[in-house]
Amino acid sequence: MNNIACFPGKYIQGKGAILNLIDLIEVFGNKAIILASPTAKKFIPEQFFSTVLSEKIAVETFGGECTEQAIQHFIGAIQRASASLVVGMGGGKTIDTAKIAADRLGLPVIIVPTIASTDAPCSGCAVTYTPEGAFEKVHYQRLNPSVVLVDMDIIAKAPVRFLVAGIGDALATWFEARSCAANAAQNECGGYSTLAGQNLAQLCYDVLLKYGVQAKADNEANLISPALSYITEANILLSGIGFESGGIASAHAIHNGFTALPETHAYYHGEKVAFGLQAGLQMINAPDQEIREVVAFCHSVGLPITLADIGIDEVSWEKLMIVARKSTEEGSTIHHEGNNITAEKVYDAIIKADTYGRQFAASID
């Protein structure tokens, strides 16, 4: 197995960054089709609908779920528009639908995330769901997105809970990359990690600790500040390269376990990943100082630190064993933490993390 790292072709972040799309259409051919969610459509600049540009840009509305049916539907729209470039604009599911459709047609894809809630935009992987909304499978694209355009005017206006969820997703990146490196586990590019993957993951963690609280306050005030820009870069670029090229492990595996409980469905991916990280650190007996730093940071930005914080008010052995068994299924990334990871160990770790979080909250209230 080789050392592999994956990157987007170009990353552009800033105020009005979406306007770069006009020149990029010329770079990648002559006709683009934008897949946008109804919310994202509001952020398409007026001039894209002008007589000159409307001949070069088609817009398709995203239906809400990344299913095989939605992908087929969008492939039809790309072909009818004779587009040579695909643009995915919106949240994770819109982006994923655009990535898979473009990959199947062999077309370049540009991603315009309208929220900084996950590290999906830069990566070459995407997730499909069943029409009922249950996780189906991970799809790996042949190449990463050609360009990722992050417009800070849009990000600064987005509800703050999305940014905080993105911080939760990004918070796990360094710890999961570290476990993969320590246990010679495969990353999400299908190889061993590189120094680039590991170091960008570590930089991601440092940036979150330093600017997370300030960025949240600035997002609440809709202010494009240095802190909000650094955290946006950490959530999207550093965590994106960090998780894909560094690899994932227990935090995401335990997150996947929690998705089996309907009461957690109202909580975002990054919120569950943040608590999954705390359980994962308990499971590997991480130093108390490290656990305390993570828990204190989560508390300071409003990320979950107890089971109740992700909707699990009534805790039972049966219920948590459903989570623990799903987390430890064959092929789960939890096995990147080492050998002999059992459902019982995960159950104990979840209980320990919940107890730690409740004691932490009580100690500072």
Residues carrying an active site annotation: 169, 252, 255, 269
Residue whose C-beta lies closest to Zn ion: 169
Q: Of the two residues 216 and 269, which places its CB atom closer to Zn ion in the complex?
A: 269
Q: Of the two residues 44 and 253, which places its CB atom closer to Zn ion in the complex?
A: 253
Binding of Zn ion by 188 (CB under 5 A): no
* CA distance linking residue 185 with residue 57, whole number of Å: 43
Helix or strand (DSSP H, E) at 11: strand 10-14
Report the candidate in 155, 31, 143, 7 with the shortest Cα–Cα distance to residue 89: 155
- List binders of Zn ion among 168-187 (CB under 5 A): 169
* CA distance linking residue 171 with residue 305, whole number of Å: 13
Q: Of the two residues 169 and 188, which places its CB atom closer to Zn ion in the complex?
A: 169
* CA distance linking residue 141 with residue 115, whole number of Å: 22
Q: Single out the segment in contact with Zn ion by CB under 5 A; choices: 64-72, 84-92, 103-111, 163-171.
A: 163-171
DSSP 193-256: --HHHHHHHHHHHHHHHHHHHHHHHHHHTT---HHHHHHHHIIIIIHHHHHHHH---HHHHHHH
Least distance CB 169 / Zn ion (angstroms)? 4
Least distance CB 179 / Zn ion (angstroms)? 15
DSSP 262-287: GGGTTS-HHHHHHHHHHHHHHHTT--
Q: Of the two residues 169 and 271, which places its CB atom closer to Zn ion in the complex?
A: 169
Least distance CB 19 / Zn ion (angstroms)? 29
Size of the site for Zn ion (CB under 5 A): 1
Least distance CB 18 / Zn ion (angstroms)? 24
Q: Single out the segment in contact with Zn ion by CB under 5 A; choices: 70-78, 105-113, 161-169, 328-336.
A: 161-169
Least distance CB 118 / Zn ion (angstroms)? 6
Q: How far is CA 364 from CA 278, 296, 310, 359, 360, in A?
A: 18, 10, 20, 9, 7
Residues that bind Zn ion (CB under 5 A): 169
